[in-house]
Amino acid sequence: MEQWFLNKYSPNTILKIKIKKLLFQEKSPYQTIEVYDSHDFGRLLVLDGIVNVSDKDEFVYHEMMTHVPLFTHPHPEKVLVIGGGDGGIVREIAKHPSVNQIDLVEIDSKVITTAQQFLPRSAIGFKESRLQVFNEDGAAFVERRPDCYDLIIIDAPDPIGPATSLYQKHFYMQCFNALKDDGLLTTHAETPTFTKELKIMQSIYSNFSAVFPLVQLFTASIPSYSIGIWCFVFCSKKFHPLNDFRESSAMESSMHNQYYNAAIHKASFALPTFLNTAIHPSHKVP
């Protein structure tokens, strides 16, 4: 009998992924964790019914979340990852020799142990010697660390369950305070393809814009996440992702990446008109 995982993009749109078998299923104190082995997407890490990682395209998400800010900051040393329990973000941070401290705050330790067992390509990040892991609430963690980090990467699940607090304006203000005077922040911001997700993206962008002096949207295509494009938010106290982009350094490191390179860095900030209009409804787009 054929088995299918239904990846629900919206109440009216579902991607059916043919499954070889269910490898793991457990309810942690925070969420239901599942791992499927699929035919086309490889292994899928699913949290509360939503795909968080797929072998097929995880590198797109992890590389864009990480290298865009790290090749913008002139000398990043201390990086905080909030969420990121699969290890892929840390794997990419570890490619940057200037970074000497990586703190990862993942509230659900079971996500980490599950990734280590079933997602070795992502979980290799947990072997990084510069990494320290904290199993606690990310919002409470940043509140205790003012003026501490060069970069914060918020790699949280969708805004349901234990991740809800990571989508509040108060949390964004605490992240601002936890950054140094020239600090950066990146997070994902859903897809503009469907109405519900578009509204979430607009809310995330608006809330960050009320906190940071420089906020820009950038995009990539991640098939396991969305039909169409996937959005990220770049937030900065000082550095501009294009004007301060260390292009020569990015070009040198491109051979170590599967998706990110210098040209992609610049192109990812070029937004289609409808998306520009969605985040700047009162502005005329040239």
Structural domain total, the chain: 2
Q: Report how far residue 125's alpha carbon sits from residue 55's, in angstroms, rounded to the nearest whole number.
A: 15
Instruction: Give DSSP secondary structure letters for the chain.
Output: --EEEEEEEETTEEEEEEEEEEEEEEE-SS-EEEEEEESSS-EEEEETTEEEEETTTHHHHHHHHHHHHHTTSSS--EEEEEE-TTSHHHHHHTT-TT--EEEEE-S-HHHHHHHHHH-HHHHGGGG-TTEEEE-S-HHHHHHT-TT-EEEEEEE--SSSGGGGGGGSHHHHHHHHHHEEEEEEEEEE---SSSHHHHHHHHHHHHHHHTT-SEEEEEEE--TTT-SS-EEEEEEESS--TTTT--HHHHHHHGGG-SS--HHHHHHTT---HHHHHHH-TTSPP-
Same domain, 65 and 173: yes
Q: Does residue 157 fall inside a structural domain?
A: yes
181 a catalytic residue: no
Same domain, 163 and 224: yes
Among 16, 33, 54, identify where a domain stops: 54
Same domain, 38 and 131: no
Q: Report how far residue 90's alpha carbon sits from residue 130's, in angstroms, rounded to the nearest whole number.
A: 10
Same domain, 46 and 152: no
pLDDT of residue 10: 80
pLDDT of residue 161: 58
Same domain, 134 and 245: yes
Same domain, 147 and 244: yes
Q: Are 80 and 153 in contact (CB under 8 A)?
A: yes
Same domain, 14 and 138: no
Q: Does residue 270 fall inside a structural domain?
A: yes
pLDDT of residue 163: 60
Look up the domain containing 225 and give its range. Answer: 58-279
For 225-255, the pLDDT digits (tens) are 888 899 999 999 999 999 999 999 999 877 7
Q: What is the CATH number of the domain that holds 21?
A: 2.30.140.10
Q: What angle do CA 171, 176, 182 make, to 5 degrees?
A: 160
Same domain, 150 and 221: yes
Set 37, 155, 158, 244: catalytic member: 155
Token pair belonging to 145: 């660390």
Same domain, 71 and 47: no
Same domain, 14 and 153: no
Q: Are 49 and 78 in contact (CB under 8 A)?
A: no
pTM of structure: 0.94
Same domain, 93 and 10: no
φ, ψ for residue 280 (rounded to 5)? -130, 65
Same domain, 11 and 86: no
Instruction: Give mean pLDDT in consecutive 10-residue pieces for the chain, a chain of 286 residues.
Output: 87 90 96 97 95 96 98 98 97 97 97 98 97 95 96 83 70 96 96 87 93 97 89 97 96 86 97 93 57
